[in-house]
């Protein structure tokens, strides 16, 4: 058995990745990334930056991308649970404007591989979540772009949660897909 199960999604190049978990009464061990296994699966990325965030229930971060320095991201949850979303913004893609979502949690240990050319965001559905991601390009603050989370044309089916959603002021100002005037 391989160390990872690479699950294709409805959008080309976006994968849900399940690691093999070795557990006993002491706890567990797993690899979260192996360059050779990922390359064997056709996922040829060189990661240059790792990021981590902590958010409370109802925080919705995104949908973010970098325009001139796009990033591929391998995302996972260290504690808690999030609904993670990738929206295809690749020019000429048959799935342009479509989205993929997955519940990622410390319990299921799933990861989402998001290639360059996507907007990315997540909603915290547990009381708190710690979120980690590897990027194949450095973060450039002057290069930020975004897509509004509730675009009717994209129609993301965000999970219902108890309580209010919380956003950054910046994230509430992102344009809709029709008004984006940007494609990868």
Going by C-beta distance under 8 Å and a sequence separation of 6 or more, which residues neighbour residue 179?
none
Decide if 79 contacts 130 (C-beta within 8 A): yes
pTM: 0.95
Going by C-alpha positions, the residue among 138, 174, 144, 129 that lies closest to residue 156 is 174
The 10 Å Cβ neighbour count of residue 54 is: 13
**Domain residue ranges in the chain:** 48-173
Decide if 18 contacts 103 (C-beta within 8 A): no
Output the DSSP codes for 54-77.
EEETTBEEEEEEESSS---EEEEE
Question: Which phi and psi angles does 142 have, rounded to 5°?
Answer: -75, -5
Architecture category of domain 48-173 in CATH: Sandwich (2.60)
14 vs 160: CA distance, rounded Å: 24
Decide if 130 contacts 158 (C-beta within 8 A): no
The pLDDT, as a whole number, for residue 181 is 86
67 vs 6: CA distance, rounded Å: 28
Which of the residues are catalytic? Answer: 64, 133
pLDDT tens for the chain, 184 residues long, are 479 999 999 999 999 999 999 999 999 999 999 999 999 999 999 999 999 999 999 999 999 999 999 999 999 999 999 999 999 999 999 999 999 999 999 999 999 999 999 999 999 999 999 999 999 999 999 999 999 999 999 999 999 999 999 999 999 999 999 999 888 9
């Amino acid at each position: 058995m391989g160390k990872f199960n690479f699950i294709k999604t409805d959008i080309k190049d976006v994968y849900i990745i399940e690691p093999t978990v070795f557990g006993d009464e002491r706890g567990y061990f797993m690899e979260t990334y192996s360059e050779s296994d990922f390359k064997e699966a056709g996922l040829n990325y060189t990661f240059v930056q790792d990021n981590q965030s902590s958010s409370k229930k109802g925080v919705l971060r995104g949908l973010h991308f970098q325009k001139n320095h796009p990033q591929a991201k391998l995302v996972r949850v260290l504690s808690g649970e999030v609904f993670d979303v990738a929206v295809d913004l690749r020019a000429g893609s048959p799935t342009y404007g479509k989205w993929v979502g997955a519940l990622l949690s410390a319990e299921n240990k799933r990861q989402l591989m998001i290639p360059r050319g996507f907007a990315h965001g997540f909603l915290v559905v547990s009381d708190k979540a710690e979120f980690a991601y590897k990027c194949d390009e450095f973060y450039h603050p002057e290069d930020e772009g975004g897509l509004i989370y509730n675009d009717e044309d994209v129609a993301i089916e965000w999970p219902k949660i108890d309580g209010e959603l919380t956003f950054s002021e910046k994230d509430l100002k992102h344009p809709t897909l029709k008004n984006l005037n940007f494609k990868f």
